[in-house]
Amino acid sequence: MSNRIRDIRKARGLTLADLAAACEPPTTAQTIGRLETGMRSLSLGWMNRIAAALEVDPASLMRGPNAAPPRIIAQLGPAGPEALAAPREALLPSALAGEDGPAPLVLSVTASIGEYRPGDLVWLRPLDPSSGDSPLGPEIARAINRDCLVPRPGGRFAFGRLIDRDANRVRLLPPGAGHKQVVIDNPAWIAVAFMLVREI
């Protein structure tokens, strides 16, 4: 089973040396590197030390063989949501660890837009595709009047309040003043915002 030490360390902006120094007692960057790559066994003691240094739950350091991590797939800027060139793993809040269902998606906010501020992370849960033949199945009723992320052609996204749906179309009202509603035909999926993470 692989571990997520490197992913979490990088998401926290720490170097190997930073993490090694934050451990109690401190260790070496070389040891952390060996633990990350699996060249050294990750014992329960090491898990507890590293988890404390990273300020995460020890169980979040482990990744199951089939577990899909939550990913930051887009960023919200003045021009609307833009796909990232390379999605990156998001740190899963401990309250969500162990939940079943599709992995959450994350939208990173880079500019003040509506109620959102730079640095915000909007966590979204994809609608369950098993609830119907399409993303516009019965489960979409729970998404009305909630902020949603929807893919558009060409690798683009639309983000905003889901204000209406009919047949195979959805209508979103982007956050902020002065934006026109966006209509998307036959979206491949819809992800509904369920949590906002904002640093204080």
Map out the domains of the chain as residue ranges: 5-61, 71-197
Q: Which of 2-16, 121-135, 152-166 has the lowest mean pLDDT?
A: 121-135
Rounded Cα–Cα distance for residues 115 and 111 (Å): 11
CATH of domain 5-61: 1.10.260.40
71-197 CATH choice from 1.25.10.10, 2.10.109.10, 3.20.20.70, 3.30.980.10? 2.10.109.10
Instruction: Please state, for a pLDDT cut of 90, what percent of the chain lies above it.
Output: 32
- 171 vs 129, higher pLDDT: 171
- Rounded distance, CA 172 to CA 147, Å? 8
- When pLDDT is averaged across residues 174-183 and rounded to a whole number, the result is 88
* Claim: this prediction has a pTM higher than 0.75: no
Which of the four pLDDT bands, split at 50, 70 and 90, describes residue 151? very high
DSSP 62: B
pLDDT tens, residue by residue, 117-132 = 998 989 998 886 544 5
Preceding amide of 93 cis, omega within 30 = no
Residues 81 and 19: their CA atoms lie apart, in Å, by 33
Residues 121, 108: Cα–Cα separation, whole Å: 5
What does the alpha-carbon distance between residue 60 and residue 142 come to, in Å, rounded to a whole number?
29
Q: Which residues contact 52 (CB under 8 A, 6 or more apart)?
A: 23, 24
Please tell me the predicted confidence (pLDDT) of residue 140: 78
pLDDT at 17 over 90: yes
Q: Do 5-61 and 71-197 come out as alike in CATH topology?
A: no
Say whether pLDDT at 69 is over 80. no
Backbone angles phi, psi at 199, to 5 degrees: -70, 145
Which positions ≥6 away from 41 have C-beta within 8 Å?
none
Tens of pLDDT, residues 51-65: 999 988 887 787 655
- Model confidence over 70-122: pLDDT tens digits? 778 888 888 888 888 887 777 655 545 445 566 788 999 999 998 999 989 89
Query: Is residue 54 within a helix (H) or strand (E), and if so which, with residue range?
Result: helix 44-54
